[in-house]
Amino acid sequence: MTAPMRSKVPKRLVLPAPAKLNLFLHVTGRRADGYHELESVFVPITLADTVTLTLRDDGEIVLIDPPPGLTEQNDLACRAARALKLATGTPFGVDIHLKKMIPQGGGLGGGSSDAATTLLGLNRLWKLGQSRDQLRAIGATLGADVPFFIFGQPAFASGVGEHLLAMSLPLSHYVVAFPGVGVATGNVFTDPNLKRNTPNAQRSAFAANFGRNDLQPVAERIQHRIPVLCEDFVRAGAGPRMTGSGACVFAPSPDATSAQALAMQLRGANWQCWAVKSIAQHPLIGFAPG
Q: Give the catalytic positions in this structure.
A: 20, 145
> Which of helix, strand or coil describes residue 41?
strand
Residue type at position 3: A
Q: What distance in Å separates the CA atoms of residue 152 and residue 55, rounded to the nearest whole number? A: 24
CA 223 to chain centre: 21
CA distances from 251 to 1, 48, 209 (A): 65, 18, 10
In DSSP terms, 75 is beta-bridged to none
Helix (H) / strand (E) containing 62: strand 61-64
Alpha-helical (H) ranges within 63-184 are 76-88, 110-125, 132-140, 146-151
Is 253 within 8 Å of 262 (Cβ atoms)? yes
Q: How far is CA 154 from the centre of its chain?
A: 12
96 and 125 in contact (C-beta within 8 Å)?
no
